[in-house]
């Protein structure tokens, strides 16, 4: 089936008015539905788990260090019990690039 670029829709009246305003100028309210379903439920469960991890990880100790500590003022970053100083940033960046390319 071939389609050409010059084809126009038969009814172009949708361009003549705003879809959320009626003929008298009053607003037509849009009421969205609450999302539900398998993927919405899974996304909610994952987001709760990630938030719990984000807020709970600093209180978990590994090798006497917190599991995650991002101290910007002192330029000290602790991830998974390993201390990263500013001069170690290239190792940190390389690890995340490797994670992104090969795992995700």
* Contact yes or no for 86/96 (Cβ under 8 A): no
pLDDT of 25 over the 70 cut? yes
The length of the chain, given as a count of residues: 104
User: How many domains is the chain partitioned into structurally?
Assistant: 1
Residue 57 to residue 63: CA distance in whole angstroms: 14
* Residue 8: inside a domain: no
Domain extent at residue 43: 34-103
Closest to 67 measured CA to CA, from 78, 76, 54? 78
* Residue 7: inside a domain: no
Query: What mean pLDDT do residues 72-96 have?
Result: 86
* Mean pLDDT of the residues in the chain: 85
Residue 78 to residue 58: CA distance in whole angstroms: 10
Query: What mean pLDDT do residues 22-39 have?
Result: 91
* Residue 1: inside a domain: no
Task: For residue 67, count CB atoms less than 10 angstroms from its CB and return exposed for 0-12, middle for 13-18, buried for 19 or more.
Answer: middle
Percent of the chain with pLDDT over 90: 33
State residue 56's pLDDT score. 92
* Residue 20: inside a domain: no
Instruction: Give the pLDDT band (50/70/90) at residue 39.
Output: very high
* Residue 95: inside a domain: yes
């Amino acid at each position: 089936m071939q389609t050409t670029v010059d084809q126009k829709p038969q009814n172009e009246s949708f361009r003549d008015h705003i879809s959320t305003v009626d003929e008298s100028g009053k607003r037509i309210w849009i009421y969205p539905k609450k999302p539900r379903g398998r993927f919405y439920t899974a996304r909610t469960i994952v987001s709760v788990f990630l938030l719990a991890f984000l807020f709970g990880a600093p209180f978990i100790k590994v090798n006497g260090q917190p599991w995650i500590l991002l101290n910007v003022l002192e330029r000290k970053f602790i991830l998974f019990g390993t201390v990263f100083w500013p001069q170690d940033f290239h190792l940190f960046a390389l690890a995340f690039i490797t994670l992104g390319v090969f795992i995700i």
